[in-house]
Amino acid sequence: MKSSPTPLPALADMTPTQLLLAGLWVTAAAVLLITLGVRIVRHVDLLQWWVPVAFVAGMALADLASSLVHWGADTWGSADLPFIGARLLVPFRVHHVNPDDFIRRTFLDTNGDVAALAVPVLFALVLLPLDGRLAVLAVFGLGLCGVGVMTNQIHQWAHMPVPPAPVRVLQALRILLRPTDHAEHHSGKYDRHYAITTGWWNRPLEAIEFFRRAEKLIARSTGATPRADEKIFSARSGGMMSRG
């Protein structure tokens, strides 16, 4: 008799308490984003040349940040680390072994953690006086947080067979991460194309071999082996994984 195959690892569903907290964070982030946007529209001349430049620069920083966080979570650390292992590293490990598990996650499940990180930044931006150079910072922050808070959602859309029509348009325009671009990350050893917000940084960082050089430097300095924990996780994992 053939033994049944080991089930692919999957993240456990959020508990009611976790869902409530995620909902609160997402709501708070949305309210603060809208408040910031309304303040900018009311107090900043949007026809000034620097407005689109600052906004796009904020989007670019969000994409760069997504690549650095994604690379760090994929490459270093152990899934057994307290708190950060279960909350940050395990979801990335599961995603590589079972990418389809990400698609089934609800909106709150997908976006709650990133919203929680964005709320303090947005709160500070809302308090900025919109005169002089601080207006530039506010517009920059709107671009940064506006797409940054949606990073996990954008990532999920890139995995969907048929994302919503407006999203497909934004993907085609390269405003949001394109599925074909993100497929490069999943096509081999998960060691490239880490940017998962707009995807703008993927090709430039690969062209200069930024992550390969950084990994060699860190490995020489610490003796750590890139992606060593992911190999261990893939070999032993199966079933539902706790979120911590």
In the chain, domain spans: 13-226
Query: Which pLDDT score is estimated for 243?
Result: 59
Displacement of CA 15 from its chain's centroid (Å): 22
Query: Which pLDDT score is estimated for 189?
Result: 83
Show the beta-strand stretches assigned E in the chain.
10-11, 240-241
- Could you give the CA distance from residue 132 to residue 177 in angstroms, rounded to a whole number? 33
pTM: 0.92
Low-confidence stretches of the chain (pLDDT beneath 50): 1-4
Q: What are the structure tokens assigned to 20, written together?
A: 């409530």
Query: Which pLDDT score is estimated for 229?
Result: 83
Percent of the chain with pLDDT over 90: 76
Q: What is the pLDDT of residues 169-202, one digit of tens each?
A: 999 999 999 999 999 999 888 899 999 999 999 9
How many residues appear in the chain? 244
- Could you give the CA distance from residue 68 to residue 227 in angstroms, rounded to a whole number? 15
